[in-house]
Amino acid sequence: MHFRVVTLSWKKGGRMEVSLSSGEVHVIKIWAESNIHGGHWGDGDFTVPEEGIILKKLDTMKKNILSISEKEAQIILGWSESTMGIHTLEEESVIRKMSSILNM
């Protein structure tokens, strides 16, 4: 099993830059889809501003680097709970990276 080591550091404005593979980005989008359209607010298709910002950032990432805040990492980890504890390698990697941001 090969895991890519990622160096995380805080940037100006309380943001963190984290590298994400295309597979990791895909996983986050699946989690978001499951939560947003799966009805976390009851009727689905309702996106809070922070969720929309994260999705836009994922669509406009450059060089596989995502600039993310602590709150955005918390939201992504919340989305990850839709898998009910069964994770692929990409999912485990995203969870590890987001947890690292929260533990810094």
pLDDT in tens, 63-82: 899 999 999 999 999 999 87
Q: Band of the pLDDT at 12, cuts 50, 70, 90?
A: low
> What is the number of structural domains in the chain?
1
At residue 17, the pLDDT reads: 87
Cα–Cα nearest to 48, from 26, 25, 74, 66: 74
The answer to whether residue 2 is domain-embedded is: no
DSSP state of 43: S
The answer to whether residue 27 is domain-embedded is: yes
Mean pLDDT of 33-55: 74
The whole-angstrom separation of Cα 16 and Cα 44 is: 30
Residue 91 or 9, more confident: 91
Q: Is 38 helix (H, G, I), strand (E, B) or coil?
A: coil
At residue 92, the pLDDT reads: 94
Q: Is 91 a residue whose pLDDT tops 90?
A: yes
The answer to whether residue 65 is domain-embedded is: yes
The answer to whether residue 67 is domain-embedded is: yes
Whole-model pTM over 0.85: no
- Cβ neighbours for 78, distance < 8 A, ≥ 6 positions apart: 35
The answer to whether residue 5 is domain-embedded is: no
Quote the domain boundaries for residue 71: 10-102
**8 Å CB contact between 101 and 70:** yes
